Amino acid sequence: MNNSEFELKQYNHQIIQNREFMLTRHMYSDPYEGAEEGPRLGRRESQHHGLELMYIYNIISTNFPNLLALNDLNHYFLINEKKVNIQFDISIFKDFSLSGRIRSYDAEKFGNKIPIMAINILSKSTWRKDFSDNLEKCRLIKIPYYVVLFIQPIDSIDAEIYHYPSIRLYRLNSSGYYDYKVLSEILYDENNIVNEEAILDCSDLLPFRIGLQKIKERDIEGKSLYRIIFIKKESLEMYLTDSELKDKIIEKKDQLIEEKEQMIKNKDQLIEEKEQMIKNKDQLIEEKEQIIKKIEEENQQLKKELEKYRTSR
């Protein structure tokens, strides 16, 4: 790093210190060809990045009461008796709660509680850090699962090496190092066609599995966009956000109303059919009585003819 770059970082650091709330994940990212000039201060690099962060946070907060999700915070941990900072898009804690909202997560203040999973969405200015510094810090901190999402096209990343789209799931092994799996296949496409094999299983420690979904929206250049999805342990059913759950409840309510209306319609039809049956029965009785009456008349006529015949003899 040359002096001008160092001075730029120092200047931006001073700016950030004077702001109460600031996203700092990109503050110390090394500049490189193609990156925006200077760090990204307090904003997402793309709409898709921001929306997916909110989507993940909503899924965890809505469906898992025993999990706590923190989004876009500085995290401070002790590594070799030195406090280090690491930024995650999402960190997930198990059996842990907060009495209020926090500006940053300092593990020393919370019994050195470690997230069970940390998630970063690759962006133009931080993807190198997510695959190097952040990964090594996660290993030293002993975070069981570290997830890197490559869900939007980024020109500066070699998609053949890093597989776009993909989920890279790092699992801490018993030796203290990460094993990892890369998932590039789509579990659900935009038409909800299912590939049952495209799942990464982290359900040994968490109440879900994960996969990739291709969404209907595209970026402004027409390129495909993807998202991480959270799958139930016992089925291929996706966990839903609060708004999706409300929509599903409304849809189910509408369906029940429609079914009830159909039942009423069927009942009215049955009543109509029964009334018709009664009408037909009455008609049959009337026809029967007519036949009986006719038979009796014919019998009477036969009797008269028989009596007449007897008399004539």
Residue type for 253, please? K
Mean pLDDT is lowest, of 15-19, 57-61, 116-120, 177-181, for: 15-19
Long-range CB pairs of 104-110 (<8 Å, 24+ gap) are: 104/73, 104/74, 104/75, 104/76, 105/70, 105/73, 105/74, 105/75, 105/76, 106/76, 107/75, 107/76, 107/77, 107/78, 108/76, 108/78, 108/83
Split at pLDDT 50, 70, 90, the class of 44 is low
Q: Which of the pair, 219 or 135, is modelled with greater confidence?
A: 135
DSSP state of 239: P
Sign of the dihedral through C-alpha 70, 72, 78, 79? positive
Segment 246-250 mean pLDDT: 81
- Tell me the three state secondary structure of residue 172: strand
What phi and psi values does residue 112 have, to the nearest 5 degrees?
Answer: 55, 40
Segment 37-60 mean pLDDT: 75
Neighbours of 264 (CB within 10 A): 10
> How much is the pTM?
0.70
Residue type for 8, please? L
Q: Which of the pair, 36 or 261, is modelled with greater confidence?
A: 261
Distance between CA atoms of residues 237 and 254, nearest Å: 21
Sign of the dihedral through C-alpha 15, 18, 22, 25? positive
Phi-psi region of 38 (alpha: psi -120 to 50; beta: other; left: phi over 0): left
What phi and psi values does residue 105 have, to the nearest 5 degrees?
Answer: -110, 115
Contact 138, 113 (CB under 8 A): no
Distance between CA atoms of residues 147 and 138, nearest Å: 10
Split at pLDDT 50, 70, 90, the class of 313 is low
